[in-house]
Structure 1
Amino acid sequence: MIAVYDVEEKRVAKMLKLFRQYLNWIQNSVFEGELTEAQLLKLENSIKKIIDSETDSVIIFKFRDQKWADKKIIGKEKNSTSNFI
């Protein structure tokens, strides 16, 4: 999965800390990795406790199969990961 968020500055540190517990940091507010359905549900519930649903946004892209996802980096890779979905 790939997750991205856009939250007000005062919530950025909390979101970063939360997402790093579950996924690999790629670059500013972007994370990737694999989660079980239970882990995803727990993450989603934690997100809802942090964000202001009127101003903040979190988008989660789920891939059903690894063969449908390719990763290509152009320019500097901010944080190298070897276990991309």
Structure 2
Amino acid sequence: MYVVIVYDVAVGRVNRVKKFLRQHLHWVQNSVFEGEVTRAEYERIKTTLREIIDEDEDSIVIYKLRSMPRREVMGIEKNPMEDVI
């Protein structure tokens, strides 16, 4: 499945969330990651994010898609998808 993860977390946890998500997904822009994951990876990502964040202060939104969506970028693309190996 293809996922897009958007987060808004407290400053003290931002780097931990970003570092973790970079291990599994492609960084698109500030607080946005996307990529193809297996069901097991998806569950592992959710479990670990729950351990990192404070659910009373932070917010993470996960969009699950059946396939890679068409993307249209307006302005500067911060991290082009072509950079993915």
1:64 to partner: Cα distance: 1.6
Q: TM-score, normalised by structure 1?
A: 0.90
Distance 2:8 2:37 in 1: 21
Q: Which residue of 1 aligns with 2:70?
A: 70
Q: TM-score, normalised by structure 2?
A: 0.90
Q: Which residue of 1 aligns with 2:16?
A: 14
Runs of 5+ unmatched residues, structure 1: none
Runs of 5+ unmatched residues, structure 2: none
Q: How does 1:4-83 map to 2 (within 5 A)?
A: 4-66=6-68, 69-82=69-82
Distance 2:66 2:75 in 1: 28
3-state DSSP class of the match of 2:27?
Answer: strand
Q: Comparing both structures, which one devotes a greater share of its residues to strand? A: 2
Runs of 4+ in 1 over 4 A off after TM superposition: none
* Letter matched to residue 22 of structure 2: R
Backbone CA RMSD of aligned residues: 1.6
